[in-house]
Amino acid sequence: MVFSRLFFIYIFLPLCLLCYAAARGIKQKNTVLIIFSLLFYAWGEPVYIFLMLVTAAVNYTAGLIIGKYQGKKGDTAATVTAVVYDLLMLGVFKYSGFITENINALFSCSIPVPHLKLPIGISFYTFQTISYIIDCHWEKVKPQKSFKNYMLFLTLFPQLVAGPIVRYSTIEKEINERSVELRDISCGLNRIALGLAKKVLIADSLSTIADSFLGNIGGSTMLGAWYGVIAYSMQVYFDFSGYSDIAIGLGRVFGFHFDENFDHPFICKDITEFWQRWHISLSTFFRDYVLYIPIFGKRRKYGGLFLVWLCTGIWHGASWNFILWGLYYGIFVFIEMKIGKKNMKKIPVVIRHIYSKLVIFIGFGIFYFEDIGKLGTFFRTAFGFGSNGFIAVQDKISLINNMYLLILAVICTFPLISTIKKVSDKRFMSKAVISSAAAVAAVMILVVTSIMLVDSTTRPFLYYRF
């Protein structure tokens, strides 16, 4: 099921809210959320829901064993078994075809290539289970003794299929003790409206530009290649951050406080800062669970760094372009580490902004093209070695026709809402007036997005395929 569909907005969600409100006590409310979460997932993946249930059972049992044998061999055995199982399931469904194809190409074999459909959300809920198991092993959290409560943590539909990656420690207390006030509902619904606007009004519109110029990269000019990749960069941002906004808003409505996943990444001044602001739940996952893994018996600063970026690339997809994309960013983070924070700050801010945006846009070019041949064509075209020249008539027409969309997209990459709040606080504006204005804006956004969704072919969120 997709958040940006009228069925979800006007049938599934209201029905869930009514049942949730009618339920008495936290246990009944949790039951309602589990049922609706399973329905939400089964709507798109009726078969693979059993895989998720088995995964839940394996990790729940492992958690209990870890708690029983804390610090003993049983603890280690359960931890290793659960993590290996989680990674194996992810590997089988996501990477088996890619691995087989490369073995066939490398050794001239003819091993049948498996074509398994990727279970929606497996990359996200697998990392949630791994973080839970490792945190139990490290004694950062206590193992959950109730299977029902563990199911709620794993299957909670707001963040189930495309994040943010919610750790058990984040919502551990709220599983059994949470309350929802009018302010929570108001803030949550406003956040949902914001996410829908990002997705429907901006991301889906930018996708037309990106597909037009990058989808036919062989026929694009130099300007067309840059125009397309910039549009795609902003499309991915508004698409994924829009999903995160909806997920965080939905969580807030039900009394859960998920961590932020984006912090206006395009205002960054270097690549290190970009990744402190982009897909924060994934970045912190690799920082906490992968960065300090011993390599050849020792913790190696730069070895761990490149392992993190290799894993980041692989996590995004079973294709060589994603591996290149991860290592590409690893190189620039490594360079910035060698330069040092103090020396980086000595570089003029304008130059740092230009440098970071060029690296980011080129990175999204690598991210877009899974076909390595087309990726090579993109690089040749973008750097003036293509056969179609610098600019064409269709480039000018598209730029003129989409000028307002592009300006709106650029403006919305800045922290407008936090700026408005700061200004209102300084001018001592009434909170009631501000809340009313936000509510009116949210209703207007909902009306506009609903009109656009009627008879539309809204694209699924991009990160559904990861």
What is the average per-residue pLDDT within 461-466? 66
What is the pLDDT at residue 116? 87
Task: Give the pLDDT band (50/70/90) at residue 456.
Answer: low
**Phi, psi for residue 347 in degrees, rounded to 5:** -70, 135
Name the residue among 423, 453, 455, 387 with its Cα closest to residue 196. Answer: 453
> Both tokens of residue 272?
């290190």
Which tokens hold the place of 185?
């509902």
Q: Select from 339, 331, 284, 324 the least CA-distant residue to 306.
A: 331
Q: Which tokens belong to 353? A: 């902004």
Instruction: Compute CA 146 distance to the chain's CA centroid, rounded to the nearest angstrom.
Output: 29
With a cut of 80, say whether residue 163 has pLDDT above it: no
Are 2 and 460 contacting, i.e. CB atoms less than 8 angstroms apart? yes
Which two tokens mark 387? 């056969």
Q: Render pLDDT for 302-344 as a digit per residue (tens, 0 to 9).
A: 888 899 999 999 999 889 999 999 999 999 999 999 999 999 9
Q: What is the DSSP letter of 202?
A: I
Instruction: Single out the residue of 355, 367, 273, 354 nearest to residue 320, CA to CA.
Output: 367
Q: Which pLDDT score is estimated for 323?
A: 95
What pLDDT shows up at residue 425?
64
Residues 6+ positions from 287 with CB-CB distance below 8 Å: 308
Note the helical H segments in 182-300: 182-196, 204-214, 222-253, 271-277, 280-289
Burial per residue of 360-375, b for 16 or more beta-carbon CB atoms within 10 angstroms, e otherwise: bbbbbbbbbbeeeebb
* Percentage of the chain exceeding pLDDT 70: 95
Residue 435 has pLDDT above 80, yes or no: no
pLDDT band at 434 (very low <50, low <70, confident <90, very high): confident
Q: Is the pLDDT of residue 445 over 90?
A: no
Distance CA 135, CA 167 (A): 9
Mean residue pLDDT across the chain: 90
Just list the catalytic residues: 316
Backbone angles phi, psi at 298, to 5 degrees: -135, 155
For the chain, the domains span 6-178, 183-465
Residue with tokens 């943590």: 153
**Which residue in 372, 413, 388 sits closest to 262, CA to CA?**
413
d(CA 279, CA 264): 11
Helix axes 204-214, 393-401, angle to 10 degrees: 180
**Short-list 240, 236, 220, 237, CA closest to 228:** 220
Using DSSP's 3-state secondary structure scheme, residue 263 falls into: coil
Question: Does residue 256 have a pLDDT over 70?
Answer: yes
- What distance in Å separates the CA atoms of residue 301 and residue 299, rounded to the nearest whole number? 7
β-partners of residue 303 are none
What's the confidence (pLDDT) of residue 452? 82
463 or 159, which is more confident: 159
- Please write the tens of the pLDDT for every residue from 85-113: 999 999 999 999 999 999 998 888 888 88
Give the CA diameter of the chain. 72
Contact at 8 Å (CB) between 329 and 309? yes
CA distances from 341 to 270, 335, 344 (A): 10, 11, 5
* Structure-block tokens of residue 463: 């990160």
> Cα–Cα distance between 121 and 247 in angstroms, integer?
13
